[in-house]
Structure 1
Amino acid sequence: MTGRPLTFLVPEGIDDPSRVSGGNVYDRRVRDGLGSRGWRVTTVEARDAGRAAAVLREAPGGTTVLVDGLVALWAPEAIAEVAARARTVILAHMVAAAFPDATAPTVDAERRALTAADHVVVTSRWTVDELRRRGLAEPGRVTVASPGVDVPAAEPSSETREEPPRLDLLCVGVVAPHKGQDVLLAALDRLRGRGWTCRIVGSSRPFGAFASSVSRDAQRFSGRVLLTGVLDGPELAKEYRRSALLVAPSRVESSGMAIAEARGHGVPVLAAEVGGIPDTVAGGGAVLVPPDDPVALAAALDAWMMDPALRRRLRAEARAARAGLPTWAGTVAAVAGALEAS
């Protein structure tokens, strides 16, 4: 087998259908794309800090190591050790210090890992600015590799229809505090008199207590709110096609892969104005509201529901924006450039 050797250290279960997340999808696309570009990728999954440190310390000198940012947090000392003998690049999907509940040990581990690495790959321009602001990495040591979007082939019936006939809302992402599904339910509680339905798509496993709370609250809506669990591939594409609006009420977000996917399907977006989301929706087809504000979110939803002209305009803008969406080929090329830089 020929090609430049690369060790790609990722969290356990990135290919597990029950653990679908934006980070896992991104890691898979990068892994597969680098292989097609001539890299000999050895992907190693780590379930804990011990495994992560062992893999890093076994990496031979003169090679290249790519480490998912979550795993890097587990073993900052090992990151420093491997960086002394092999080019070490961290793929930072998010800035852990930006989370309101980030602990001091986590923030310190992130600082040590990022400052020890040769280079950092991030998913948005906002993340570059956040790393610089926090003194974690200067822009010259950071590469932006925005998540790509698979734009589906247009379906004539959906393209000629002005908008879906129902006010079906969609929220996609792991059910977690930083994704803000509780904010969405609080907003919908103010709109019980409107004719909407809402599907919340995403894994409930990583943040079980929060997900259970969201599930209990959803039951108060008498079937109008459905938590579907994880959906992927054709099932998720079907949800985008049937939905009139994607709602992304995140408290923290580096870029928002679900937002980009919705735009690939020509679905307009109502999202929190936080993190990298404004860059992700550049080009139109979106409304932004303050984060963690159910009153503002409810007002924006109500305006959208009550104004057919607004719905048509946003949907037309979202469809037009598809031509400028990033591709996964571009994502992989950017990551490859970071790996190859001297």
Structure 2
Amino acid sequence: MTDATLEKAPLAYVPAQTTVPKTGDLIPMSLSSVHFVMPGGVHDTTNPSGGNAYDRRVCLDLPGFGWQVHKHLVPGSWPRPQTAARTELARTLAELPDGTAVLIDGIVACGVPEIVVAEAERLRLAVLVHLPLGDETGLAPEVAAELDARERAVLRAVPAVIATSDWAVRRLVSHHGLAPDRVHVAAPGADIAPLAPGTDGVSHLLCVASVTPRKGQHRLVEALAAVRHLPWTCVCVGGLNHDPEYVAGLRALIARHGLTDRLHLAGPRSGADLDASYAAADLMVLTSYAETYGMAVTEALARGIPVLATDVGGLPEAVGRAPDGGVPGILVPPEDPAALAAELRGWFGEADVRRRLKAAARGRRAALDGWAATARSLAGVLRRLPETPGRVA
């Protein structure tokens, strides 16, 4: 079923999932309606992001839990849009009848309290926060402070805030002073995929992340330079257009260390090309400064690929544990390429470490929640929106 067909469908359908609705989750024959406001680039495959992938997927799965999704894509340089984007968002919300249930992606909502807070008086609003705006890396301090204040104003005004990990819930509650009962978690799901055969079981590394300062690929380059004597190759899959200056600096760093033939910036991949990238991987690496969850981690684990990542934000939740308690990855302190290099030496030098991590990754793979669990959580939040709109604070 396509997105276009879905918007017109009068009846609920049960999405194909590894996780099915729990007993008691009745699927109604007619759907309640929610209007989902998303960034205009949500379908842009040249600049993929976990937030966009999440938005697209829950649009497909929410009908299975009683909610017909009406999508509104608003182009703009969110979260700091130009006048035209602000006008379009204001028009989109103003045209919705009083009492409408509205889910807004946080990158659209949180930078424009002058629009969203006023609409909280008459619409039943829920804001989906993929990443707190002030946590983006590379922002000037005054810009980060401004975005932080704007986000606080929005989140304090709406009756429901949705985050993508337990860590992110705690972060939003403590940082913005939100009432804990108004902040809910709906962690990303994962579709179980065929086990990745890998390359030789050890040497092919994969990083799936947009090439931006927050994803910290320069730390990966520094770590790999420290273990240049090991027989690794590494492919970095992710958008190259978010921060051209950072990408140029990263290419220069790769060349300065003489790693051009071994570390490849492949750009964005999707569909069969992305599947092939995972299939060839022996180890997933992620060196982010901030992550609310880390969907690339669970996408790797869904294929039985172990993970080496920085210990930040929600990444420990994404790595998780296998049912037997085994940990399918290694977490290293942020800002420590030497620790990353040390773990890479262990990965290459200790067959027992590799066997343990691979066994745990396969165990974690079998225990991952599907996207139906995400949709169920979101549907529950939408059902509990107050019947009478009104600003919370």
Q: TM-score under structure 1 normalisation?
A: 0.94
Partner residue, 1:7: 35
Counterparts of 2:195 and 2:218 in 1: how far apart (Å)?
33
Counterparts of 1:336 and 1:208 in 2: how far apart (Å)?
38
Q: Does 1:94 align with 2:131?
A: yes
Partner residue, 1:260: 298
Partner residue, 1:198: 234
Alignment of 1:78-89 (within 5 A): 78-89=115-126
Q: How many residues align?
A: 337
Counterparts of 2:145 and 2:91 in 1: how far apart (Å)?
24
Q: Which of 259, 269, 274 lines up with 1:231 in the alignment?
A: 269
Instruction: Report if aligned partners of 1:99, 1:178 keep a CA contact under 8 Å in 2.
Output: yes
Q: Does 1:145 align with 2:186?
A: yes
Runs (4 or more) in structure 1 with deviation over 4 Å come to: none
Partner residue, 2:219: 183
Partner residue, 1:73: 110
Partner residue, 1:313: 356
Instruction: Report if aligned partners of 1:59, 1:82 keep a CA contact under 8 Å in 2.
Output: no
Once superposed, what is the RMSD of the aligned Cα atoms? 1.7
Q: Which of 168, 171, 175 lines up with 1:130 in the alignment?
A: 171
Residues 165 and 273 (structure 1 numbering): CA distance in 2 closer, same or farther, change over 3 Å?
closer
Residues 278 and 196 (structure 1 numbering): CA distance in 2 closer, same or farther, change over 3 Å?
same
Q: Which of 297, 306, 324 lines up with 2:340 in the alignment?
A: 297
Instruction: Report if aligned partners of 1:57, 1:81 keep a CA contact under 8 Å in 2.
Output: no
Residues 128 and 42 (structure 1 numbering): CA distance in 2 closer, same or farther, change over 3 Å?
same
Instruction: Report if aligned partners of 1:171, 1:201 keep a CA contact under 8 Å in 2.
Output: yes
Q: Does 1:21 align with 2:62?
A: no
Residue 137 (structure 1) shift: 2.2
Partner residue, 2:383: 340
Counterparts of 1:73 and 1:269 in 2: how far apart (Å)?
32
Counterparts of 1:164 and 1:266 in 2: how far apart (Å)?
15
Letter in 1 for 2:160: H
Residue 136 (structure 1) shift: 4.1
- Higher helix content, 1 or 2: 1
Residue 106 (structure 1) shift: 0.6
Counterparts of 2:216 and 2:281 in 1: how far apart (Å)?
19
What's the CA shift string for 1:25-53, capped at 9, x where partnerless? Answer: 00001111123444232211112341223
Partner residue, 1:272: 310
Residue 301 (structure 1) shift: 1.1
Instruction: Report if aligned partners of 2:110, 2:150 keep a CA contact under 8 Å in 1.
Output: yes
Unaligned runs of 5+ in 2: 1-7, 11-30, 322-326, 387-393
Percent sequence identity is 37
Letter in 1 for 2:298: A
Instruction: Report if aligned partners of 1:52, 1:75 keep a CA contact under 8 Å in 2.
Output: no
Instruction: Report if aligned partners of 1:53, 1:75 keep a CA contact under 8 Å in 2.
Output: no
Q: Which has the higher contact order (CA 8 A, sep 6+)?
A: 2
Q: TM-score under structure 2 normalisation?
A: 0.82
Residue 249 (structure 1) shift: 0.6
